[in-house]
Amino acid sequence: MEGASFGAGRAGAALDPVSFARRPQTLLRVASWVFSIAVFGPIVNEGYVNSDSGPELRCVFNGNAGACRFGVALGLGAFLACAAFLVLDMRFQQISSVRDRRRAVLLDLGFSGLWAFLWFVGFCFLTNQWQRTAPGPGTVQAGDAARAAIAFSFFSILSWVALTVKALQRFRLGTDMSLFATEQLGSGAGQAYPGYPVGSGVEGTETYQSPPFTETLETSPKGYQVPAY
């Protein structure tokens, strides 16, 4: 049981690239990876426009530089995390220790839940700042990039929530299998092998119905007479 737990096969098994690529968790990570690029990419390339008062650049989201920095940091963090967790998923079956597998799944669960929450905060923040942005030449120029960042922030919420759910399912599956193995080992260790039946020490008269030899020995054989002296 130790080799097959937390949603993975027995440790040391060969990785099938086709089945790995078709796993829902792998598809969700790739989608989250693409969504992260679609968030921080447009902000970096077109998220800063010339201000009306001078040549300096300002963030397209209501001139709030914090909104642009938050979007870039959030997308870049998700980009790096998706790449790291993909590598971890590929090497997950090589982890033989159940404790190490549990730590990996807990890390995935905690990070996915945290990033889903941060994506929700980022989506609300960017949407609010975009609604407050005054129309102008720079806003029209970078409007598509701002709307793309907001849209893919929303899609990232869905993908990271789905990753959190998948990690939670893996954690519950691994916990149930570990408890099952513990119960099996505990019950097996407590059971005693049946021994030989022990009697009361007093045997009844009917235990043996007859002596082992049914024929009785005669004191003298037939036809033989004792000589007289």
| 25 within domain boundaries | yes
What is the distance between the terminal CA atoms of the chain, rounded to a whole angstrom? Answer: 92
Q: What is the reported pLDDT for 27?
A: 96
User: Is 206 domain-assigned?
Assistant: no
Instruction: Give me the count of residues in the chain.
Output: 229
Residue 84, domain extent: 17-182
Question: What is the CATH classification number for the domain harbouring 128?
Answer: 1.20.140
In a domain, 207, yes or no: no
Q: pTM for this one? A: 0.70
**∠141-143-145 over CA atoms, to 5°?**
100
Domain assignment of residue 92, yes or no = yes
Position 96 scores a pLDDT of 80
CB burial class (10 A; 0-12, 13-18, 19+) of residue 34?
middle
- 175 found inside a domain: yes
With vertex at residue 220, the alpha carbon angle to CA 218 and CA 224, rounded to the nearest 5 degrees, is 140
- pLDDT digit of tens for each residue in the chain (229 aa)? 444 455 444 545 667 788 889 999 999 999 999 999 999 999 999 988 887 666 788 899 988 999 999 999 999 999 999 999 999 998 888 888 888 889 999 999 999 999 999 999 999 999 999 999 888 777 888 889 999 999 999 999 999 999 999 999 998 887 655 443 444 444 444 454 455 455 545 554 454 455 555 455 455 555 556 566 5
Q: Within a domain: residue 110? A: yes
Residue of 64, 78, 56 lying closest to 146 (CA atoms): 64
Contact 24, 109 (CB under 8 A): no
Classify residue 190: in a domain, yes or no.
no
pLDDT of residue 183: 43
Q: Say if strands 48-50 and 57-59 run parallel, antiparallel, or are unpaired.
A: antiparallel
CA 58 to chain centre: 43
The pLDDT value recorded for residue 93 is 81
Rounded to an integer, what distance in angstroms lies between the CA atom of residue 119 and that of residue 113? 10
**Does 49 reside within a domain?**
yes
> Domain tally for the chain?
1
